[in-house]
Structure 1
């Protein structure tokens, strides 16, 4: 008999792996296939929100923006002409709206989907690895949301995917009856359905069939394609399921599953599955009733059956049309499936607020497009509207990142995102209006103004407070990745607010962040980020250190030397001045009156934050304590700033200089 692993509670992924290695499972059993008529004693690898509820495998639990995975607990050493069948139920949060679906997957490793995202990525890929041949992944998707980015034909379809969600073949969900007519099915009907996937290693042919629960396998498959899995998959693979939700959510349940890597899958025991379906019905928090098809032995007249079939087809068509109209309206009004916490605006409202995006309302422009001042007609509130052009360097990924992250954040030193809109190929973000513009313009003379020391020190403390909130105090960790003076805006009281979260990434506390490429602005980029491409809290701290020096000195991070035309780093310039005994001479000469103790604190703390060794930099909470003088800055010499982690003295110095505990992360996919 197969050894059982209790799954009544969800276990951490690493713990499940340990249990599996201790379980005396034979490879021969795995290579002979398996059949689960319920999952109370199934040997599975589970992560995300997936769990065993009763006897059903619940890939998602109805929560929004979630991902769930479940794999068979052993790796298959080889698969040739494999076959699998499974019964599933998708219970939507609303009777006709749900998302995003589930997929049967074959992948190279059990960890290959751990960085996957919810919503349109279906818990299979993320924005960076989608389409990569190195994914080594085959999937059959049951997709309940139409996504034109991936070429989806409609919001209710089945697709065959290889390394991407742009299906090599897809079809509206349904099945072919014995007389050859196509009968559509609604994947989010809340009814159990069965899927068959068969692959012939000789012809490289894959067939996918779908039918209502208790119906026989259709003679004509729904999808049929030629796919050479030998060239896509390694010799040793994991098989399982992935599922995801977006703003609209569903409960995705697997009722039974049979798989054979080298032949036809064993048939499922429908008598046993009926009890599992009852478990799903009892555990369904939405109260939706899972409707079974005609049971064997029941007696219903032919006229009633015909009427029910016609009525079912009619209702399904009405649902599809209603869903299509709903999605079309949502796209028109810009109401994307983004869990952002901010309301959306219509293009008409924003055009009215800016007098048709008149040049008289233009505040500035850059590589992303233009920013306008606007007056909302209903609330009479002044706003700033970033109008991202189609040719912008800030693409859809950055736009969605800013909406998703900034829409949830609430802090007095962060620019508040009020909403967003999409009109044809244009993207628009709506913020609180900052009447005093960017700090960059004030510091470096674009405006004929200056900022006194009192306000400069207050701006530094404000941005430090905002960063502490992002790194330590919010429910997730946010790495900004582009801290600089031009991204700090000044409100009507000259308080600094950090904005532009287009490059930001977030992750859970205690876990690694995953970024994908070198991002930021030269002069603010930490050495390890430029060298290794690893973004962390410490790389944000480095940029903040340079920002502190820039505010105190009134010089840009990189400035050309007047004498020889060579570029000079601001950090090096301040260190040289310190070593020559003239540290305070680096303070901006436009500041006629400043507090010497505060200026010295800012300069030394700025250099400490921009230390070349990440572990020497203080965390933002400690930076705040230094700035408000709850904790005294340790007394260190300028020579400490030139030490590296390999120097013998470094360990002694670091003991007297509290440091930031960095979480070094490989760059593999944004949030």
Structure 2
């Protein structure tokens, strides 16, 4: 839709619930006021409704006039985000100060938050400051349900961000879920002399916290012109959240006036009643007098209810994954009605079948997720929305999806040689030579580098292991199964706090804190490298003592005893010693117990293709901890890992 055709309206109404002077304005509800609205924004039940529950929509609202003098400003507002599910939402809202409202007419929904588009995001010419309340559906970006507050300048890569919450009077921190459906209040204060921005958040009716949630130094004089607009922007993605502002106060040159909570509480009640009425299906007008007419009306209502329910389910599952959807009938025909003869394997999620699409005759793999699966709706949406946008030769390609009753189905490229796990550890005598193994390691490293560094967002896979690496017809490795993956912006941290992964591949800090990062993926990849080179599982029971032995410890012991190469898979009759030693030592470095000692994936790739030589280090370096004095003096970070390890190669 061209910018000029977007809905843009200016409301000039008699002030009643709103007051505005040279010292700013206060909206205690939005029955009346002077506002610029565009997109799907509207006023309903005395609340400013930025988005109305329509998927992939944008809503914005700005105060009707410019402020020609803005210095040490202050604002506070009460908001409510109503998600489609209790733990999934997209994409949040932002308080904005902008040089113009015209440039926002080209802004996009989803991850662009109604503030930017693909061309202008990050441009200094945007001249825009924002405080975002991000609830990104992880799927496209961020965690499966991101929940943070950030300060943005001209881009959505926040200069500072933190998980949503507030500091109680006793100084303890309490988490807040932005998509709880409960009203919350935000305070934003800017000091023009110190250039300090403070952002606070608290549950509705709580006092403003003494300690701000976020505090950053931002010279807005160099960002914004002298004349600006203030307002809000919001957007939805494939999930259809409703974003409302209940009350708003702003002062361009001082402290914002307090809101009238007695009036706002009435507005909140109106909003709740409106939400309840929206949740019921209209029953129409029953025609009295004739019983037959009543009966016909009831039948019509029932038919409408069934139709609307099906339509709602359909729209709920129209997921923006960059892939086409398949019908259940197509997939049943492709698999001979899911015949056991077409079964490729099974797992905790359900079963995987080989299929042949009737129209194109293309071979596909169909993951049929059962209702009893451990992999539920959240993982299903994550895999579709993440993998559907990724394009890399070493990632399994998602072709589409389908939903049938309580079953979920994902359609992928068919990998004729199955999983690497079966080749390495299966009962069959099939094996792969060193050239193929080294090529698989480099391929998966390339795919991970793309996920961590080269795509527009950071993807944390969280479950790298041999069984999630599939082999195509040329024995190239492709990383799959993105059901546990999480996304976040470059330059920010992921906010996952739920332990996920497979034992043996889980980094120590992940087991301790449950926080997934790029470094925890690198750890799992290091174990994976050792597994491919050694042909042993990450955890294996000692034959003599009957105790579990970690693969990493086993390789280190062999190195310390004088020959790291004796750990190479004995099934390999011929291998390149230099490459095998590189893989083993790099695998140990990637699985270092201290996360800051691990290289990033870009540096791992440089080591593997020999653009950069792996530095010389001794086994003793692998036993260093973050508490060691020597390690503290030589903290490692990508890309300076090479020079740093050289200084530590003498051990302790």
Same fold (TM over 0.5): yes
Gap regions ≥5 residues in structure 1? 1-23, 71-109, 137-161, 169-196, 198-229, 266-320, 662-671
* Cα distance, 1:533 vs structure 2: 1.5
- 1:260, 1:476 → 2: CA distance? 38
Is the counterpart of residue 489 in structure 1 residue 470 in structure 2?
yes
Equivalent residue for 2:206, pick from 231, 234, 250:
234
Q: Is the 8 A contact 2:75 2:248 kept in 1?
A: no
* Cα distance, 1:63 vs structure 2: 1.8
Change (3 A) 1:327 1:337: farther
Equivalent residue for 1:356, pick from 334, 337, 346:
337
Q: What RMSD over aligned residues (CA atoms) do the two structures have, in Å?
A: 4.5
TM-score normalised by structure 1 residue count = 0.59
Is the counterpart of residue 442 in structure 1 residue 423 in structure 2?
yes
Equivalent residue for 1:455, pick from 436, 455, 473:
436
Change (3 A) 1:566 1:497: same
* Counterpart in the other structure of 1:291: none
Is the counterpart of residue 476 in structure 1 residue 457 in structure 2?
yes
Is the counterpart of residue 506 in structure 1 residue 491 in structure 2?
no
- 2:29, 2:316 → 1: CA distance? 45
Q: Is the 8 A contact 1:386 1:429 kept in 2?
A: yes
Cα deviation, 1:325-366, whole Å, max 9, x if unaligned, reads 68835745x872422111110111000000000000000001
- 1:500, 1:369 → 2: CA distance? 13
Q: Is the 8 A contact 1:59 1:253 kept in 2?
A: no
Equivalent residue for 2:375, pick from 391, 394, 399:
394
Change (3 A) 1:509 1:362: same
Number of residue pairs the alignment of both structures matches: 451
- 1:485, 1:637 → 2: CA distance? 27
Change (3 A) 1:541 1:33: same
Equivalent residue for 1:606, pick from 587, 590, 594:
587
Q: Is the 8 A contact 1:484 1:524 kept in 2?
A: yes
- 1:496, 1:68 → 2: CA distance? 36
* Counterpart in the other structure of 2:34: 37
Q: Is the 8 A contact 2:522 2:591 kept in 1?
A: yes
Change (3 A) 1:640 1:378: same
| Secondary structure of 1:500 counterpart | coil
Cα deviation, 1:542-571, whole Å, max 9, x if unaligned, reads 000000000000000000101111111000
* Counterpart in the other structure of 1:116: 135
Is the counterpart of residue 549 in structure 1 residue 530 in structure 2?
yes
Is the counterpart of residue 376 in structure 1 residue 362 in structure 2?
no
- 2:635, 2:97 → 1: CA distance? 48
Equivalent residue for 2:391, pick from 381, 396, 410:
410
| Secondary structure of 1:649 counterpart | helix
* Counterpart in the other structure of 2:413: 432
Q: Is the 8 A contact 1:370 1:387 kept in 2?
A: yes
- 2:513, 2:239 → 1: CA distance? 38
- Between stretches 376-385 and 447-456, larger displacement belongs to 447-456
- 1:120, 1:608 → 2: CA distance? 31
* Counterpart in the other structure of 1:261: 260
* Cα distance, 1:516 vs structure 2: 3.1
Cα deviation, 1:51-103, whole Å, max 9, x if unaligned, reads 46799899997623147599xxxxxxxxxxxxxxxxxxxxxxxxxxxxxxxxx
Q: Is the 8 A contact 2:93 2:233 kept in 1?
A: no
- 2:472, 2:145 → 1: CA distance? 36
* Counterpart in the other structure of 2:601: 620
Q: Is the 8 A contact 1:60 1:250 kept in 2?
A: no
5 Å-filtered alignment, 1:509-548, equals: 509-548=490-529
- 1:582, 1:63 → 2: CA distance? 58
Cα deviation, 1:508-528, whole Å, max 9, x if unaligned, reads 111111213011001000111
Equivalent residue for 2:558, pick from 577, 592, 600:
577
Cα deviation, 1:487-520, whole Å, max 9, x if unaligned, reads 0000000000000000000111111112130110
| Secondary structure of 1:379 counterpart | coil
Q: Is the 8 A contact 2:248 2:259 kept in 1?
A: no
TM-score normalised by structure 2 residue count = 0.61
* Counterpart in the other structure of 2:223: none
5 Å-filtered alignment, 1:307-386, equals: 328-329=310-311, 331-332=313-314, 336-386=317-367
- 1:261, 1:119 → 2: CA distance? 36
- 2:203, 2:610 → 1: CA distance? 63
* Counterpart in the other structure of 1:246: 237
Cα deviation, 1:210-266, whole Å, max 9, x if unaligned, reads xxxxxxxxxxxxxxxxxxxx997423389x97843224999999999688425558x
5 Å-filtered alignment, 1:82-93, equals: none
| Secondary structure of 1:443 counterpart | helix
Change (3 A) 1:600 1:375: same
* Counterpart in the other structure of 1:100: none
Q: Is the 8 A contact 2:497 2:513 kept in 1?
A: no
Change (3 A) 1:323 1:415: farther
| Secondary structure of 1:597 counterpart | helix
- 1:253, 1:397 → 2: CA distance? 25
Cα deviation, 1:367-394, whole Å, max 9, x if unaligned, reads 0000000000011000000000001001
- 1:594, 1:330 → 2: CA distance? 58
* Counterpart in the other structure of 2:39: none
- 1:655, 1:486 → 2: CA distance? 31
| Secondary structure of 2:523 counterpart | helix
- 1:167, 1:654 → 2: CA distance? 44
- 1:401, 1:250 → 2: CA distance? 17
